[in-house]
Amino acid sequence: MKLKILWPGRTRNKDLRGLQDFYLKRIQGLIPCQLIEAPEARGLAERFSQKILEREARGLEKHFKDDYIVCLFDEGKEMTSRDLARFFERCSTGSVRAVTFVVGGFLGVAGRVLDRADLRLSLSKMTFSHELCRMMLLEQIYRAISIMKGRQYAK
């Protein structure tokens, strides 16, 4: 099983970017993992939210292929870290070739991207910035894969 983590644009906050790189390296030490920063819709005012979502959706969809798509969504399914580890175990022993996690931009993701998702996942009932969600997702992926591989991970 291979992991892809996909989102529009770069992480601008340098502190969060450092955490992103930290967790990505740790994940890559355990399982093949690729981070893809798709094009971000630029030059549009927020009042053109549908155009922004559609433009970003086109950039995201190019990377889907026949992957199992997990889309972060505030109304999605909540999982514990152990649940996520079991999810990865099922994917690695099943016919899933690649799992792609999608994190939306500052407006979220287009409805058609959500419709394409095999799983809608919520990190919390609280609302977080899209850049912070990126780090939380990376940390939880690292924690779940560590659990799956039987490695010690501090609580």
Domain containing 128 — which CATH number? 3.40.1280.10
Q: Beta-carbon neighbour count of residue 25 at 10 Å?
A: 11
Q: What is the domain range of residue 89?
A: 2-148
pLDDT of 75 reads 93
pLDDT of 65 reads 87
Number of structural domains found in the chain: 1
Q: For 29, which DSSP code?
A: T
153 lies in some domain? no
Which residues make beta-bridge pairs with 46? Answer: none
102 lies in some domain? yes
155 lies in some domain? no
83 lies in some domain? yes
SS3 43: coil
Q: Could you tell me which of 117, 12, 134, 129 has the C-alpha nearest to residue 68?
A: 117
26 lies in some domain? yes
d(CA 24, CA 19): 8
List, in order, residues 6 or more apart from 7 with CB less than 8 Å away.
36, 37, 38, 60, 102, 103, 104, 105, 130, 134
Listed in order, strand segments (DSSP E) in the chain are 2-8, 33-38, 68-78, 98-102, 119-122
Q: For 105, which DSSP code?
A: B
47 lies in some domain? yes
Residue pLDDT, tens place only, 40-97: 887 666 667 888 899 999 999 999 989 999 999 999 999 999 999 999 999 998 888 8
- The structure's pTM equals 0.92
pLDDT of 42 reads 73
Q: Could you tell me which of 89, 57, 81 has the C-alpha nearest to residue 71?
A: 57
Helices 130-148/14-28 angle, 10° precision: 20
133 lies in some domain? yes
